[in-house]
Structure 1
Amino acid sequence: MNSELVNFFRVVKEKPEQFIQAFDYILISREIFQKYKTLSIAGTSEVNRAVRFYYLLHFSFGALMKDFMITPLKKPPMLLERVRDNITSVRDRLVNTIIENRDVEKIISSYDRSSTFFYCDPPYYGLADYTSQGSKPFSKEDHVRLKECLAKIDGKFLLSINDHSEIRKLYSGFNIKQVEVRYSVCRTDKSSMANELFISNYEMRVVE
């Protein structure tokens, strides 16, 4: 649940050219980053809010929108050179997409049918905190609510999450597959391998 994320997708879907043009003369700058961090959203246009969100997300360490990630010894990502291609492809994907901003239980109950497939990607259990991005906290109690909600659906679900003993215990009655993934914030050789879980209410076949 994140109004800034919803606003971003709405702008990309409805006003892609205005969004793209806003990046024609913008710089990758620590000062601009800090300015966007302190910018009051109240009274700010939808496009400028979306630009701010995109800028802070992509030029912050770990995409947490807290700290400017560019250092003198690190080449900046070619993000601004690819804005048009990236946004155009996202806009095309969103043409027939509905963007919701409601509690997980309401979302699932609204769309659940025997023919529905839910892919769930909740914050990592005990680790991730996206409040700095504007999202509402997702607590351990929320993880329990999600599991209880998924246990009652008529459709199918696939959930991906970090490998945690409490998660294994919580979803012990479902199909669980362990996969090894590479976790990397900087995408360097220092990235590490870790286990992640695929959980479902149907038989899965994981292709190596």
Structure 2
Amino acid sequence: MKKSMMKPPISRMGGKSKLRKTIIEMIPKHTCYIELFFGAGWVYFGKEKSKVEVINDADRELINLFKMIKYHAPEIERLLEYEFSGRDIFEEYKNCQVEYLTEIHRAIRFLYLISQSFAAKGNHYGYKVTSKPAPHIFYKNELAEVRERMRNTFVENLSFEKIIDKYDRKESFFFCDPPYFETTGYCTEFSEEDHILLRDKLKNIKGKFLLTINDNPKVREWYKDFNIKEVEVHYSVSRSAEARKNYGELIITNY
């Protein structure tokens, strides 16, 4: 019986839950697997382990969460047992001063805000009239699997260009899922200049890369010298019906 793909412990805008099977099937032979923009880690958690693995994200709180799960999963689970879904708790976590929290409590805060907010953005308390509160904060022995998966993974919190410089070898494979071009709602700013810098860095690597991004004329122009595969993905994380539709995406590779 085929083993089902592992799910990440959080949701994240731009997550690759709908595309990951296609992406994983396209991953070439490699020794070192690197994710430049980790997010929820749908591809990482879905694929087979590589000999060496690196996950990176510019979001300090996101990376702290995965570091704490890697090293302190039982303690996070123990503390989460006492949490419940409430707007006042949500606002308290949202507005607290992070620098006064321990790394473990920062991880719990982040997990709470992501799991109890609308569209997992951490901004607004997510209430419903048709279903129960999200159960993600009531983990019981679920983080152990995540911790085991991350046991031999390097966890980084650097800019994408530094990660490319550090880990690029001919045996390296970079999975790149940057914030989509001219798309709002991401937690970190990613300008047109950042997109151009990413393209320039990828153009000159020794290893291989696979990049996922929204279908846009500028993007097609930037990557015209590479292999471009068109795919359609249905997104439903929106209150408006017109936003719940199929969107064109591109999978771009240098192999």
Structure 2-normalised TM-score? Answer: 0.72
Name the SS for the 1:98 alignment partner.
Answer: strand
- Look up the equivalent residue of 2:100 and give its one-letter code: G
8 Å contact 2:177–2:213 — kept in the other structure? yes
Which amino acid letter does the alignment assign opposite residue 151 of structure 1?
A: K
2:146 is equivalent to residue 90 of structure 1: yes
Return the match for 1:150 from 202, 227, 243: 202
In structure 2, do the counterparts of structure 1 residues 53 and 62 end up closer, same or farther at CA, with 3 Å as the change threshold? Answer: same
Contact 1:158 1:199 in 2 (8 A): yes
Any stretches of 5+ residues in structure 2 without a counterpart?
1-57
Give the paired residue count.
Answer: 196
* Identity score, percent: 40
Change in Cα spacing, 1:88 to 1:109, as seen in structure 2 (3 Å) is: same
How far has the Cα of 1:93 moved from its partner?
1.3
For 1:37-116, list aligned pairs within 5 A: 37-81=94-138, 83-116=139-172
Distance in 1, matches of 2:109 and 2:135, equals 18
Higher relative contact order, structure no. (Cα contacts within 8 Å, ≥ 6 residues apart):
2
Q: Which amino acid aligns with 1:114?
A: K
Listed one character per residue, the Cα deviations across residues 61-100 of structure 1 (whole Å, up to 9, x for unaligned) are 222211111133443233234x234422211111011111
Matched, 1:193 2:246: yes
1:8, 1:79 → 2: CA distance?
14
1:85-119 CA distances to partner (integer Å, 9 max, x unpaired)? 44222111110111111111110011111111100
The CA deviation string for residues 153-206 of structure 1, in whole angstroms up to 9 with x for no partner, is: 01000001111111111111110000111112269x98421111100001xxxx
CA contact (8 A) 2:68 2:107 kept: yes
Residues in 2 aligned to 1:84 and 1:165: alpha-carbon distance in whole angstroms:
46
Residue 115 of structure 2 contacts residue 137 of structure 2 at CA under 8 Å; is this kept in 1? Answer: no
Could you tell me which runs of 5 or more consecutive residues in structure 1 were left unpaired when the two chains were aligned. Answer: 203-208
Q: What code does the residue aligned with 1:10 have?
A: K
2 CA distance for matches of 1:80 and 1:52? 10
Q: Considering only aligned residues, what root-mean-square deviation do their CA atoms show, in Å?
A: 1.9
Question: CA 1:186–1:59 in structure 2 vs 1: closer, same or farther (change >3 Å)?
Answer: farther
